[in-house]
Amino acid sequence: MTSFAITEVKALVRQPQRVQAQHLLERLAVAVLPILTRRRFHVRRLHEFFPKDGALLGMNVNRGAKIYVRLRPKRTPESFYPYEALLETLLHELTHMVHGPHNEAFYKYLDELKHEMEMLMVRGLVGEEGVRFAAAGTGQRLGGDNISVPIRVAAVLAAKRREQYNSLLGGETSRRLGSLSAASNEIFNPQALRRKILEAAERRRRDNEHCRNVLHPGASHEVLGIESSDDDEDSTSNGARQQAPDSSASDIIVLEEEDDAHETIANVPAVIDLLDDDGEEKHDDVPRRAGRKRKRGDTVDIIDLT
């Protein structure tokens, strides 16, 4: 197996149809393996998550240390989003391996990944076979037969596939994940240019809602509500929190457990703070740090707030 294969693929434990969810994630991991190998992307974990924010579809933690993908609609967790939509979400998160903010460079790179994936799908190349094909050359099968696809045929197939993607989620997928506009060849006038600028701003706004990119050091403190954890089967029996075995990770994610406040989340490369039901941090019962004695000569400021 190639060294760029995703190390761990894991569906949620406490959600229905876990077997189907696991199969979906494994299928996604196999599909992007040629891209991971060609781009030399190391993704350690691909996990399902089910955030309280129904618009949140994916998250890339520390450039591939862990990638989360939402597989299920919020209101119908027993069902799944179409595979093609999930694949676009994963490609979106892989783009964050290179570009953090949702800007022009991000969408240009995302379009490259989507085009590359479409060409792989046209040729039926996924997983190890796709990796070997890329290494052998783009014009030959492993058996030596020429399989070159006419550009126009590939373009038509890709266009049809994009139309299918759009129809699967009512046209939201392409706008959300940055598909190329069908009117890219129109003659720009001031009104059209202004419309394009507004569309680009709306596109960034949507993606900021649908995606989280957590990168440290220097990243903002992300607050993320999780209804079901992807690590809940690894929790300890006494309810004590475990620290991730990988001590090199410094990501900070704030998670919230709604169903069981005492159920723990283990093996998450993060420092976890639990929030109460209202989303407010609890400050009144924060334990004080013990074992620190005040040195002689230390001054104490007393502030009267009355």
Q: Report mean pLDDT in 10-residue bins for the chain, 306 residues.
A: 87 95 95 93 96 93 95 95 94 95 93 91 73 55 43 58 51 39 48 66 65 53 43 40 38 37 38 34 43 48 45
Over the range 69-91, which residues count as b (16 or more CB within 10 Å of their CB) and which as e?
bbbbeeeebeebbeebbbbbbbb
- Note the pLDDT of residue 189: 66
Strands 66-69 vs 45-48: parallel, antiparallel or unpaired = parallel
Per-residue pLDDT at 206:
66
Nearest to 44 by CA among 275, 279, 305, 268: 268
Copy the structure tokens of residue 156: 């038509």
292 in Cβ contact with 88 (< 8 Å): no
pLDDT the model gives residue 120: 85
Q: Containing H/E element for 50?
A: strand 50-51
- In angstroms, the Cα distances linking 255 to 10, 45, 51, 199, 297 are 18, 18, 9, 32, 41
C-alpha span between 118 and 88 (Å, rounded): 11
* pLDDT value of position 64: 92
Q: What is the CA radius of gyration of the chain?
A: 23
Q: Angle at the Cα of 62 (from 227 to 89), degrees rounded to 5?
A: 60
* Contact assessment for residue 48 and residue 93, using Cβ atoms and an 8 Å cutoff: no
Q: What is the pLDDT of residue 193?
A: 61
113: CB partners within 8 A, 6+ apart: 35, 91, 94, 95
**Calpha distance 227→224 (Å, rounded):** 10
Cα gap 10→23, rounded to integer Å = 9
Whether residue 297 contacts residue 278, with contact meaning beta carbons closer than 8 Å, is answered with no
Q: What angle do CA 204, 206, 212 make, to 5 degrees?
A: 85
Residue 247 burial (C-beta neighbours within 10 Å; 0-12, 13-18, 19+): exposed
* Phi, psi dihedral angles at 165 (to 5 degrees): -60, -45
How far from the centroid of its chain's Cα atoms is residue 249's Cα? 17
Query: For residue 66, what pLDDT is reported?
Result: 96
CB 47 within 8 A of CB 15: no
Residues in the chain, total: 306
The predicted pLDDT at position 157 comes to 59
Contact predicate 89/55, CB 8 Å: no
Q: Model-level pTM? A: 0.54
